[in-house]
């Protein structure tokens, strides 16, 4: 028995130089597709991946001149990091537009190894006052959009037997609050989609995970949420603060790295202890 153990140790060898668990340089040259990449969390994710040498494709919703300027500004910052960039507007609720966008990314950048489903909206209202378009718009953007993109990249990732998909859900997909039935339902559905996709794509070495941000300081949050709600969020979070987009981007980067190669189907709250 002793001889067998010694032989096994000799075969394994001794690691004389410890290897870093997290080596972001291994992502260099990969291609990431980030939905809703022109602002907020999506922008932070795109920039964080680009810092590691990842080529970036991102889409945005063309809602006017400012949205186009925001997208161009992000593209300029990405190109300054010497990565290739492809971007254009795309309505994630339209499955045909999604298929076309994914095909164009493959043609322009040569493939897709990473998908970050970040695009999302909110239309808050008490459920008994909620209009059909307020329900449908949120669910189709937050849930259908993620499904359309996941479905579109799945054949490619299965064929190459490699892929990382990260869905940006929310703490409100785990615990709801008043007036966000549409948002909570869409984000809870996204958690279910994450787990189902992990089961179906895992055998082909595709990791599918989700991050669940709490209250994150973005323009949409600070401009659209009453100050008293933000104050309550700070009080509830055990760290006593709101998060920043970079807090979420760092966790997304980890999930896209080989340090997370044995993690799939999980939801990681990035909420400062809001759910505790």
What residues are annotated to the active site? Answer: 183
> How far apart (Å, rounded) are the C-alpha atoms in residues 131 and 133?
5
Query: How far, in Å, are 133, 142, 172 from residue 130 at the CA level?
Result: 8, 17, 18
Identify the bridge partners of residue 86 per DSSP, sorted by sequence position. Answer: 57
Tally helices (H) and strands (E) across the chain.
Answer: 10, 7
Question: What residues pair up with 243 in beta bridges, in sequence order?
Answer: 216
Residue environment code for 100-114, b if the CB has 16+ CB neighbours within 10 A, otherwise e: ebbeebbeebeebbb
Contacts of 225 by beta carbon, 8 Å cutoff, 6+ apart:
215
Place of tokens 């597709």: 33
- Strands (E) in the chain, as ranges, are 31-35, 55-60, 85-89, 114-117, 163-168, 206-213, 267-270
Give CA 145 to chain center in angstroms.
Answer: 12
Instruction: Give the tokens for residue 52.
Output: 């590691």
Block residue for tokens 């054949």: 155
Give the span between the Cα atoms of 136 and 140, in whole angstroms: 6
Neighbours of 264 (CB within 10 A): 21
């Amino acid at each position: 028995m002793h001889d067998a153990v010694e032989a096994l140790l000799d075969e394994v060898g001794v690691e004389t130089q410890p290897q870093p668990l997290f080596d972001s340089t291994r992502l260099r040259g990969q291609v990431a597709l980030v939905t809703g990449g022109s602002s907020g969390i999506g922008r932070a994710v795109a920039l964080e991946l680009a810092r590691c040498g990842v080529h970036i494709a991102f889409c945005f919703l063309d809602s006017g001149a400012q949205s186009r300027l925001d997208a161009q500004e992000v593209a300029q910052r990405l190109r300054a990091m010497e990565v290739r960039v492809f971007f254009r507007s795309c309505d994630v609720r339209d499955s045909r537009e999604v298929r076309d966008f994914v095909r164009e990314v493959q043609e322009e950048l040569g493939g897709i190894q990473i998908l970050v489903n970040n695009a999302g909206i909110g239309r808050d209202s008490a459920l008994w006052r909620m209009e059909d378009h307020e329900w449908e718009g949120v669910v189709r953007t937050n849930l259908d959009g993620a499904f359309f993109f996941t479905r579109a990249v799945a054949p490619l990732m299965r064929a190459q037997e490699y892929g990382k998909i990260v869905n940006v859900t929310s703490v409100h997909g785990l615990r709801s609050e008043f007036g966000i039935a549409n948002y909570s339902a869409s984000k809870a559905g996204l958690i279910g989609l994450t787990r189902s996709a992990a089961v179906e794509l895992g055998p082909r070495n595709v990791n599918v995970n989700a991050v669940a941000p709490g209250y994150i300081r973005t323009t949409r949050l600070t401009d659209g949420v009453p100050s008293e709600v933000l104050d309550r969020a700070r009080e509830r979070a055990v760290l006593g603060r709101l998060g920043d987009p970079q807090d979420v981007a760092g966790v997304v980067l980890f999930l896209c790295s080989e340090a997370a190669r044995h993690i799939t189907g999980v939801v990681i709250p990035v909420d400062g202890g809001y759910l505790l």
